Each structure stands twice: as structure tokens, then as C-alpha cells.
């Protein structure tokens, strides 16, 4: 028996392969094939566009897959949706960063539109049609939402009055002289599964284990471990400098006057912290990378 797993093709593909590597799985994607290899004989991978992942998982073509919460919601809102999916894990990563993305309502910089209500009767271009329709319906604003096949940022003001587009940093919108007037929804990557697959004991266990490892890799992102030695008489001063997930681990050394400290910190704090630890008379300071943190 094998678990059929969908890997998102496109902007999320490289970030997903890197996440799996930190979770302990090596995926190799041949540019000419839609079936990447993985070093787990119990998993069979297939590259699928994130926009279509929920449909194939719901239909049972795939047991599970990774896609955005936005596309899961878009699929659920379609009139042709034939099934549902189970969300197993929120995995907060995107194409350029480890954070959520936003679908934003944007208009030309020079436009008269300031809020969503100003767009009454306007044309909105987007890939996320149904979520956009629901956004305006909640505000009782009548608009014409058109599906965009891509290059959505270039459409206002000639081909559309406004757009709803996904962004991480907003740089592409600014480069095309667009101004954000509202956030339609926030999204992050999810591991989703077919309910029938989760009813199978073997597949359910396999997916639970996969979810655990992926979440552990996400937790470790941006964090490092640090080890150091300190005299007991100076321990309190050193501990006061150390943030930690819970509490630092303190272990006795062969010399009863010394202890070893092991803890986890945010990587961005290391360059400021190490000199302060040294000034507090810590010794043998070692920084090491982390692949997984299981909470």
C-alpha cells in the first residue's frame, strides 16, 4: 500500500521540497515529470497545481496534499464540489517567507476608490472568484467579478477597475502602481486529506506521522540551539539573558563548580546574545542548527 501525496506545483514547489527536507524526506522533482521521487517507499508523490489540489484530494485521486487555505475555501464554495477534505495541519510558509499571505483588494494609485463600498458596479479581476464574490456580498456591494488567468496586476484601470490578488510583501503591487484598500482574506499552506483515507488505519497513521514531522520542521524554522558552560555562582546572571521555549536545560559537569546549559533561541537574536553571554562569563558557547522541534 502507498500513500498518494500531492505536492503543489508552481510558486510553492521549491519551498515545499525544502520543508520536506527539513522534516527528513528527500524529494527530487524532474523538470520533465509530474511524479517526483521521494526517499520513502510508502509515499507516491504527484505535482498538482495548488488551485486544483483540494478537488483531487476530495475526489480521492490523492490521499492528501499541500495547498493554501484560500484554495480549499474556493473549492468548497464551488457548486460542483463533490466532496470535502480534512485539514490535518496549518503549515505557515509561503514562496518567499515563513508567514501567511494575504489576498488584497487593490486599485490604481490615482483612482478615486478608497474603500470597498466605492466599487459599486465596478469590475474586479481575480483568480479567487468565489471568495471575492462572498467578500462583496457580505458588504452588500454589487460588483462584476471576472476570472483572471494571470498578470492580474496589469489590468487596472483599462481591463478592470480593481483586482483581488495574493501578496506576501506588496512589492509587486507597488511596482505596478497599485494601492491596497482592504484585505479580503489571509491564507497559509495546509496539509489536507481525503476523509476516506483518514478512515483507513494505515493511511491515517502515516498521515499523522507526516503531519507531526512537517509541523516540527516549521517550529524549528528561524530557531537555533545554543550550549554553554557557566560557573554556578554566575548561573543566575546568565539565565536572565536566555529566552527559551520552556526553561533552559541545566546539567551538572564533572567539575561541581560548573554547569552546562542547553536552550533554544530565535536565530535573529544570536548576534546580540553571544557577546552578552560572554560578558556574563559564560564559556564554551556553541550554536547549532535545528531541523525539527516537536512540541
In this prediction, residue 243 carries a pLDDT of 79
Phi, psi for residue 51 in degrees, rounded to 5: -65, -25
CB 190 within 8 A of CB 90: yes
How big is the CA angle at 80 (ends 71 and 130), to the nearest 5 degrees? 45
How big is the CA angle at 124 (ends 120 and 129), to the nearest 5 degrees? 115
Closest to 68 measured CA to CA, from 88, 45, 50, 47: 50
CB 209 within 8 A of CB 191: no
Q: How many CB atoms are closer than 10 A to CB 278?
A: 12
Q: How far is CA 197 from CA 2, 42, 213, 214, 258, in A?
A: 11, 14, 19, 19, 53
pLDDT in tens, the chain (295 residues): 899 999 999 888 999 999 999 999 999 988 888 999 999 999 999 999 999 999 999 999 999 999 999 999 888 877 666 778 999 999 987 655 567 889 999 999 999 999 999 999 999 999 999 999 989 999 999 999 999 988 899 999 999 999 999 988 888 899 899 999 999 999 999 999 999 999 999 999 999 999 999 999 999 999 999 999 999 999 999 999 987 656 899 999 999 999 999 999 999 999 999 999 999 999 999 999 999 999 8
Q: How many CB atoms are closer than 10 A to CB 44?
A: 16
Give me the count of residues in the chain: 295
Strands (E) located in the chain: 3-9, 27-28, 37-38, 43-49, 64-68, 86-91, 101-108, 123-126, 144-147, 162-167, 178-187, 189-193, 223-231, 249-252, 258-266, 283-289
Torsion 96-99-101-107 (CA) sign: negative
The b-or-e profile of 104-113 (16+ CB within 10 A means b, else e) is bbbbbeebeb
Helices (H), the chain: 13-23, 50-59, 69-76, 129-138, 171-175, 195-199, 201-220, 235-239, 270-279
- The residues that bridge with 265 in the sheet, in sequence order, are 224
In this prediction, residue 84 carries a pLDDT of 87
Q: Order the strands of the 64-68 sheet from edge to edge.
A: 43-49, 3-9, 64-68, 189-193, 86-91
- The residues that bridge with 266 in the sheet, in sequence order, are 223
Per DSSP, the three-state class of 192 is strand
Pairing type for strands 123-126 and 162-167 reads parallel
Amino acid at each position: 500500500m502507498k500513500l498518494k501525496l500531492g505536492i503543489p506545483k508552481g510558486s510553492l514547489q521549491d519551498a515545499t521540497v525544502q520543508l520536506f527536507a527539513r522534516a527528513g524526506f528527500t524529494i527530487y522533482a524532474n523538470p520533465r515529470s509530474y511524479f517526483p521521487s521521494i526517499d520513502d517507499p510508502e509515499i507516491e508523490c504527484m505535482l498538482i497545481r495548488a488551485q486544483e489540489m483540494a478537488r483531487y484530494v476530495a475526489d480521492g485521486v490523492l490521499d492528501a496534499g499541500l495547498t493554501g487555505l484560500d484554495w480549499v475555501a474556493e473549492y468548497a464554495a464551488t457548486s460542483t464540489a463533490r466532496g470535502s477534505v480534512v485539514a490535518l495541519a496549518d503549515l505557515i510558509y509561503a514562496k518567499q517567507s515563513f508567514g501567511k499571505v494575504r489576498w488584497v483588494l487593490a486599485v490604481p494609485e490615482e483612482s478615486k476608490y478608497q474603500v470597498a463600498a466605492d466599487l459599486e458596479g465596478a469590475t474586479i479581476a481575480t483568480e479567487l472568484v468565489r471568495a471575492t464574490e462572498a467578500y462583496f456580498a457580505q458588504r452588500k456591494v454589487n460588483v462584476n467579478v471576472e476570472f483572471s488567468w494571470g498578470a492580474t496586476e496589469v489590468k487596472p484601470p483599462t481591463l478592470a477597475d480593481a483586482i483581488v490578488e495574493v501578496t506576501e510583501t506588496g512589492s509587486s503591487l507597488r511596482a505596478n502602481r497599485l494601492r491596497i484598500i482592504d484585505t479580503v482574506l489571509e491564507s497559509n499552506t495546509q496539509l489536507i486529506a481525503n476523509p476516506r483515507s483518514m478512515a483507513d488505519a494505515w493511511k491515517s497513521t502515516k498521515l499523522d506521522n507526516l503531519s507531526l514531522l512537517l509541523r516540527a520542521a516549521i517550529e524549528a524554522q528561524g530557531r537555533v540551539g545554543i550550549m554553554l558552560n557557566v560557573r554556578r555562582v554566575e548561573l543566575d546572571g546568565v539565565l536572565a539573558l536566555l529566552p527559551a521555549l520552556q526553561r533552559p536545560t541545566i546539567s551538572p559537569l564533572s567539575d561541581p563548580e560548573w554547569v552546562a546549559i542547553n536552550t533554544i533561541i530565535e536565530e535573529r537574536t544570536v548576534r546580540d546574545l553571544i557577546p552578552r553571554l560572554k560578558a556574563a562569563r559564560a564559556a564554551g558557547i556553541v550554536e547549532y542548527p535545528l531541523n525539527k522541534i516537536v512540541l
